[in-house]
Amino acid sequence: MFPPPQNEAEDDARFHAVFRAETAGAPSSFAHFMALALYHPELGYYRRQRRRVGLEPSADFYTATSTGTVFGELVAAAAKLLVPARPQEFDFVEIGAEPGGGVLAGVAHTFREVRALHLGEPLAPSGDCVVFSNELFDAQPFHRVVFRDGAWRELGVAADSGHLVEVELPTLSPQVEAFRRSLPSTAPEGYRLDLPLAAVELCRQITQAPWRGAFIAFDYGKTWTELTTDTPAGTARAYHEHRQERDLLAHPGRQDLTCHICWDWLEDALSAAGFRDIRLESQESFLIRHAGEAAARIASAAKPGPDPRRSRLHELLHPGLLGQRFQVLHARR
């Protein structure tokens, strides 16, 4: 058990010591570093007892659930339309909700029960349910590769004189080696790919459990074609105190790390698990199509002049704001 750190330098030193012990002083894949930085039992970003999500300056980012219940009301309305029977016969299971939170917190609903499954717990929904997640898959460790001198080379992390530095690994890690044949045969020199392989494994773990109902995942991602042609610098980024940080190795355990997921891979996992009606839509399209009546009620009940609920609705649906920035993958089984 680590005592509370006195300052950020001490916190960094503790993380570096853990990293060196975990890697025996050798370079590691970026995914291994990220797993420690996000999920180490005591030093990981998602394991620390602090507020990460919200509008406060001390938080790092905000999500659709950060301001009021409007998003939850729309999600509840959309979920009702996606289940094949009465919603009161289904549980609403949210995976990855922040402790003490949840998309349906404070929202009137007709589901049988609302449950939360947190990362680190067995993620095995059962029975009839709606399985929901919001920005879950982008928070999984990913590998990084670069095309150099006619070949894909894996980027990793090494400890050097008390600092963490990016290095090229001498060989591909087993996860990337198993995926190597799926990489493009050629690419522009220096093209980077961030490979969210763990997100696919998480999707398989969730969808292969014996449950029936609707799968709804809000997140941001791209197709494999887009990732391999339109993002030459990769999609990895970090967030710290509401700022996007360029240095992915800074503030280990104190900043969020993320990349775009590959929607094609998650669609394949859903199909392999027996899901049908698999569809990917923009957040704007999904909420208008499946929760249009609820959105209209929120808009019509708004007071004249500035109204926080109408403003939140506008932010969620407007294509220049969150409406096109996020996508929704949904399916039924």
How far is the C-alpha of 249 from the C-alpha of 186, rounded, in Å? 28
DSSP labels for 9-31? Answer: HHHHHHHHHHHHHHHTTS-EEHH
Q: Kindly state whether residues 274 and 298 are assigned to the same domain.
A: yes
Predicted pLDDT at 67 = 64
How far is the C-alpha of 264 from the C-alpha of 66, rounded, in Å? 28
Q: Is the pLDDT of residue 155 over 70?
A: yes
How sure is the predictor about 246, in pLDDT bands with cuts at 50, 70 and 90? confident
> Is residue 108 in some structural domain?
yes
3-state secondary structure of 265: helix
CA distance readout (Å), 191 to 146, 152, 178, 287: 6, 9, 20, 35
Structural domain that includes position 172:
8-49+143-195+223-259
Predicted pLDDT at 305 = 84
Predicted pLDDT at 49 = 72
Nearest C-alpha neighbor of 315 from the set 307, 108, 215: 307
Q: Kindly state whether residues 37 and 184 are assigned to the same domain.
A: yes
Task: Among 259, 280, 307, give the residue marking a domain's end.
Answer: 259
Reported pTM = 0.90
Residue 61 pairs in a beta bridge with 53
Q: Residue-wise over 280-307: b if at least 16 C-beta within 10 A, else e?
A: bebbbbbbbebbeebbeebeeebeeeee
How sure is the predictor about 53, in pLDDT bands with cuts at 50, 70 and 90? low
301-323 pLDDT, tens digit per residue, is 988 888 999 999 999 999 999 99
Across 293-302, average pLDDT: 94
Top-confidence residue, 291 or 98: 291
Across 101-113, average pLDDT: 93
| Strand ranges for the chain from DSSP E | 28-29, 91-95, 113-117, 127-134, 143-148, 151-160, 163-168, 192-195, 211-219, 221-222, 237-240, 243-245, 256-258, 261-262, 276-282, 327-332
Q: Number of H helices and number of E strands within the chain?
A: 9, 16
Q: Is the pLDDT of residue 56 over 70?
A: no
162-185 pLDDT, tens digit per residue, is 789 999 999 999 999 999 999 999
How sure is the predictor about 72, in pLDDT bands with cuts at 50, 70 and 90? very high
Contact status, residue 243 vs residue 159, Cβ threshold 8 Å = no
Predicted pLDDT at 98 = 74
CATH number at residue 310: 3.40.50.12710
Q: Which of 238-247, 251-260, 278-287 has the lowest mean pLDDT?
A: 238-247
Side-by-side strand order, sheet with 327-332: 113-117, 91-95, 127-134, 211-219, 327-332, 276-282
- When the pLDDT of each residue in the chain is averaged and rounded to a whole number, the result is 91
> Is residue 235 in some structural domain?
yes
How far is the C-alpha of 180 from the C-alpha of 177, rounded, in Å? 5
3-state secondary structure 187-229: CCCCCEEEECHHHHHHHHHHHCCCEEEEEEEEECEECHHHHHH
Q: Kindly state whether residues 160 and 27 are assigned to the same domain.
A: yes
Predicted pLDDT at 238 = 95
> Is residue 288 in some structural domain?
yes
Contact status, residue 232 vs residue 188, Cβ threshold 8 Å = yes
Q: Kindly state whether residues 215 and 228 are assigned to the same domain.
A: no
> Is residue 58 in some structural domain?
no
How sure is the predictor about 63, in pLDDT bands with cuts at 50, 70 and 90? low
Residue 134 pairs in a beta bridge with 218
Q: Which of 65-79, 145-159, 175-189, 318-332 has the lowest mean pLDDT?
A: 65-79
Contact status, residue 138 vs residue 220, Cβ threshold 8 Å = yes
How far is the C-alpha of 175 from the C-alpha of 81, rounded, in Å? 38
Predicted pLDDT at 248 = 96
Q: Which of 3-12, 77-86, 187-196 has the lowest mean pLDDT?
A: 3-12
Across 255-284, average pLDDT: 97
Structural domain count, the chain: 2
Q: Kindly state whether residues 160 and 230 are assigned to the same domain.
A: yes
